[in-house]
Amino acid sequence: MEAFTLAVAKGRTADHTIRLLEQMDIFFEDLTPSSRKLVFYNKKHTIKLIFVKAVDVPTYVEKGAADIGIAGKDNILESEADIYEILDLQIGKCKFAVAGKPGVNIDTLQSLTIATKYPTVAKKHFLRKGNNVEIVKLNGSVELAPLIGLSDVIVDIVETGNTLKENGLVVIEHVEPISTRLIINKASFAMKANHIQQFIEKLKISLEE
Amino acid sequence: MHSLVNNHYRADQIERFQQREELISKLKHRFKTYGYKQIQTSAFEKYDMYATKTGIVNTEDMIKIIDASGEVLVLRPDITIPLTQWMTNKNQLTVKHDRYFYVMDVFRHVQWNEQKERTQAGIEYFGDSSPTVDAEVIALAIHTLHDCGFSDYKIEIGHAGFFKALIAQTSLSTTEITNIQRFIQSKNLAEMTAYLESLTIDEPLKTAIRNIPFLYGQPKSVINEINQYGLDNEVKAELKKLIDVYTNLQAYDLSEDIVFNLGLINDMDYYSDIIFQGFINQIGRPVVMGGRYDNLGDQFGTHIPAIGFAFDVDLLIHAASQHHLLSEPESSIDICLYYDTNTQQEAVAAAFHLRNQGYSVISFPKETSETATIQATWEIMYTENVYTAAVDNQIYQFKNFVDLQGLLQAKKENG
């Protein structure tokens, strides 16, 4: 059987994924929590596992560097990758939300400045609503932006809301729910149909358990 | 400072350009052997043609130009549409088995890889809607992929009418249909299931729509699966056409290269029946797309059944490069010829005859040989007293053109 490459986001998603794969009787021998290696094979050499940065998973899959990927919906949406998004793994659940200082009314502001790590998601959301917006792309500490006047609001991932609360921000509106997804390169789906579909079926079963 | 050079055809990609031309000539050759004739249309088209035909091309994506009289033009955003319009302007009686191919650029603001300009090489077959034609057109697409040297490819075949017939039984809004299409195109079952629950659709129909993304794989098993749904006659009639094409394709012995994908929905809304796209291993986007568009002519006042496909040449060359299928372009010159004042006339005459015989020849005054480093297979010197021809570190003397031809010929024969 032809091997396929599975790209997984480093960190929490990786731990979840490894546990899921173990439930499917897929084991990666060299894989230990302290390992710094980025490439692993299962015993039968039918799956090559690579660890990449979370935001890069959709790119690896779209470009065919990996056949399958496990990635957060947040990164899938932001990358706008042309891929199949086959399964919701029901882990890493959170949501995209617009947040700001209490009392901000985003529908009455003439023009809105938004700070975010996800410019595409933010732009699309406000385009749908018909708001006139300016996007400030940041790479971290987004919550700071409304506090120091860099932006009116932020668009970010909200899990518990604790970070927002501690910084005196509130959720103004929900954008979209997020969870971890199984994504597949469209050519791989065609070329390695049997192997990949078997993998999906097994994964589905182990998700239901 | 920003560079003022547009990146699309970079000057350092001369080699790539040679390879690209070689690839295009392979495609053209194959199209010709199936009886297609090359045509070309204007890059400028009337904006109104696209603006009034809703659903063909998003008007925001088109690159608009205003001419001197104030008329709005667009740079050709699609090829099938102008060709169909052109066909409808011809005498209807002559449209029967009309086969044309093209190599042309399409222009849009938003295209893959940020390029506004992409080359398409494709064919259109007008005037016949039989499944034998569909099969031959698909066989041609596969034959062409094979010519390019690819061995790992799959053609996915679907049917535009299948989804349309299913959705016609519901009373969904355009936005709702678009959303469902998106979910099907990305096989996003999780979100589609939740979304379908929020809509009012009959339960059996809902199940049928939900299953579309996974109507995928070997034609026979896909057909068997669909038949379990108890579909109405209209949907069944559409499927029958698909099966007919597959039956005809079996004569071409291409079953290995084909999978059915009923979840295939093309963004171009004009497709009416069979649609298909070709994937190459490791390349996440289809290199060739096509389908039957029997009703597009009606928008221009004449019914002309038609089918066609187009290769995305830029993607195809990228794929060929990834798969190491591009040969080193022939960059070397056959003959470099030097002369001095007294021999110039004889030398350039020799160059003329050699070029007529198909050699690539460059010529210079003798002094150039001391400064320039020119790579050529043969180095020929016409000096006042002696004529020499050097090849592979060996130097031969010759008296006249006939002698020289003898040397070239001998070298050719002995390798």
pLDDT tens, residue by residue, B173-220: 888 998 999 999 999 988 898 899 988 888 888 888 888 888 898 888
- Does the ipTM surpass 0.85? no
More confident site: A43 or B74: B74
Nearest CA in chain B to A86: B188
For chain A, 209 residues long, give each residue's pLDDT as a single digit of tens: 678 999 998 888 888 888 888 888 888 887 777 777 888 888 888 899 999 999 999 999 999 999 999 999 999 999 989 999 999 998 889 999 999 999 888 887 778 899 999 999 999 999 888 888 899 999 989 999 999 999 999 999 998 889 899 999 999 999 999 999 999 999 999 998 888 888 998 898 888 87
**DSSP for B282-311?**
T--S-SEEEEE-TTTGGGGT----EEEEEE
Q: Using CB atoms and an 8 Å cut-off, which of residues 133-152 of chain B contact chain A? A: 152
In a 3-state reduction of DSSP, which class is residue B82? Answer: helix
Residue B139: pLDDT above 80?
Answer: yes
As given in the structure block, the two tokens for residue A126 are 């406000």
Question: Distance between CA atoms of B123 and B37, rounded to whole angstroms?
Answer: 9
Q: Give the number of C-alpha atoms closer than 13 A to the C-alpha of residue B132, restricted to the C-beta side.
A: 3
Sign of the four-CA dihedral B110, B112, B117, B123: negative
Question: Distance between CA atoms of A96 and A115, rounded to whole angstroms?
Answer: 13
Radius of gyration of chain A (CA): 19
Residue B92: pLDDT above 90?
Answer: no
Q: Which residues in chain A have Cβ-Cβ distances shorter than 8 Å to B284?
A: 61-64, 82-83, 185-188
Q: Which residues of B56-65 are buried (b: 16+ CB within 10 A; e: fewer)?
A: bbeeeebeee
| Number of Cβ atoms within 10 Å of the Cβ of B272 | 22
Which of A86, A178, A196 is the best residue to mutate to test the B interface, defined by the most B CB atoms within 10 Å of its own CB?
A86
Question: Distance between CA atoms of B145 and B316, rounded to whole angstroms?
Answer: 9
Residue B7: pLDDT above 90?
Answer: no
Nearest CA in chain A to B279: A187
**DSSP for B54-102?**
TTSS-GGGS-EEE-TTS-EEEE---SHHHHHHHHHHS-GGG-SSEEEEE
**Are A61 and B279 a contacting pair at CB < 8 A?**
no
Phi and psi, residue B10, nearest 5°: -75, 145
* Residue B46 Cα, gap to closest chain A Cα (Å): 29
Beta-strand relationship, B98-107 and B37-38 = parallel
pLDDT tens, residue by residue, A114-172: 999 999 999 999 988 888 889 999 998 999 999 999 999 999 999 888 989 999 999 99
CB B338 within 8 A of CB B372: no
| Strand ranges inside B63-150, DSSP E | 64-66, 72-75, 98-107, 117-126
Which of B155, B210, B279 is the best residue to mutate to test the A interface, defined by the most A CB atoms within 10 Å of its own CB?
B279
Contacts of B337 by beta carbon, 8 Å cutoff, 6+ apart: B347, B350, B351, B361, B362, B363, B364, B380, B382
Q: Which of B210, B240, B208, B238 is nearest to B226 (CA)?
A: B208
Q: Which residues in chain A have Cβ-Cβ distances shorter than 8 Å to B190?
A: 85, 87-88, 181
As given in the structure block, the two tokens for residue B55 are 């659903």
Tell me which residue has tokens 């690539």.
Answer: B360
* Residue A141 Cα, gap to closest chain B Cα (Å): 30
Mean pLDDT of B240-269: 88
Burial of B369 (0-12, 13-18, 19+ CB in 10 A): middle
Q: What percent of chain B has pLDDT over 70?
A: 92
Residue B5: pLDDT above 60?
Answer: no
**Are A84 and B152 a contacting pair at CB < 8 A?**
no
Contacts of A59 by beta carbon, 8 Å cutoff, 6+ apart: A65, A79, A81
As given in the structure block, the two tokens for residue B29 are 């050759």
The distance of Cα B331 from the centroid of its chain, to the nearest Å, equals: 25
pLDDT tens, residue by residue, B303-342: 999 999 999 999 999 999 999 998 876 667 899 999 998 8
**Are A187 and B282 a contacting pair at CB < 8 A?**
yes
Tell me which residue has tokens 């899921």.
Answer: A20
Q: In this predicted structure, what is the pLDDT of residue A105? A: 84
* Residue B300 Cα, gap to closest chain A Cα (Å): 33
* Residue A42 Cα, gap to closest chain B Cα (Å): 21
Phi and psi, residue A57, nearest 5°: -55, -50
Q: Which residues in chain A have Cβ-Cβ distances shorter than 8 Å to B217?
A: 193, 197
Q: What is the pTM of this model?
A: 0.85
Question: Distance between CA atoms of A32 and A89, rounded to whole angstroms?
Answer: 23
More confident site: B91 or B218: B218
Q: In this predicted structure, what is the pLDDT of residue B333? A: 86
Tell me which residue has tokens 């917006």.
Answer: A133
Q: Which residues in chain A have Cβ-Cβ distances shorter than 8 Å to B279?
A: 186-187, 190-191
Which of A70, A124, A189, A204 is the best residue to mutate to test the B interface, defined by the most B CB atoms within 10 Å of its own CB?
A189
**Are A83 and B186 a contacting pair at CB < 8 A?**
yes
CB B263 within 8 A of CB B215: yes
Give the angle A13-A14-A20 at the CA atoms, nearest 5°.
Answer: 90
The model's confidence at residue B1, banded by pLDDT at 50, 70 and 90, is very low
Q: Using CB atoms and an 8 Å cut-off, which of residues 246-285 of chain B contact chain A? A: 259, 261, 279-285
**Are A186 and B286 a contacting pair at CB < 8 A?**
yes
* Residue A64 Cα, gap to closest chain B Cα (Å): 5
As given in the structure block, the two tokens for residue A205 are 């079963």
CB B200 within 8 A of CB B176: no
- Which residue from B190, B261, B279 is facing A187, i.e. has the nearest CB? B279
The model's confidence at residue B112, banded by pLDDT at 50, 70 and 90, is low
**Are B284 and A64 a contacting pair at CB < 8 A?**
yes
Beta pairing partners, A68:
A6, A184
CB A50 within 8 A of CB A66: yes
Nearest CA in chain A to B185: A84
Q: In this predicted structure, what is the pLDDT of residue A91? A: 87
* B384 part of contact set with chain A, CB < 8 Å: no
The distance of Cα B34 from the centroid of its chain, to the nearest Å, equals: 16
- Which residue from A82, A85, A197 is facing B284, i.e. has the nearest CB? A82
CB B337 within 8 A of CB B362: yes
Q: Which of A112, A113, A116 is nearest to A74 (CA)?
A: A116
